[in-house]
Amino acid sequence: MKSPKELLERQINDLEGRVDTLNTELAQVMKTESQMNVTVDQMQQDKNVPEDRVEEVRQKLTSAELQKDNLLKKLDYIEDEIKKKRKELNSLDN
């Protein structure tokens, strides 16, 4: 049987691991988003690119932006959970 302190420490470690994973995902999504912004700009300047193709890439860009926002919300939530658990852990130490 684990003590409440050990349990909280394990939960904090697990949450920190999820933060690391989400940060890695976020970096990838932001890189994709940046590349797509450049691509859309280039496609808009190239008169040979059909408008429906530009729109298709714009939709993928919007999807990447939504994914980024979702990851940021998850990160905020998990970081708040870590703060709560640390506060709880500190109260056990006192």
The tens digit of pLDDT for each residue in 35-59 reads 999 999 999 999 999 999 999 999 9
* For range 19-28, the mean pLDDT: 98
Strand segments (E) across the chain: none
Distance (Å, whole) CA 42 – CA 30: 18
Q: What is the pLDDT of residues 76-85, one digit of tens each?
A: 999 999 999 9
- Output the pTM of the full model: 0.87
pLDDT of 25 = 98
Contact at 8 Å (CB) between 72 and 26? yes
Structure tokens at 31: 């890189």
pLDDT band at 33 (very low <50, low <70, confident <90, very high): very high
Q: Is the pLDDT of residue 75 over 90?
A: yes
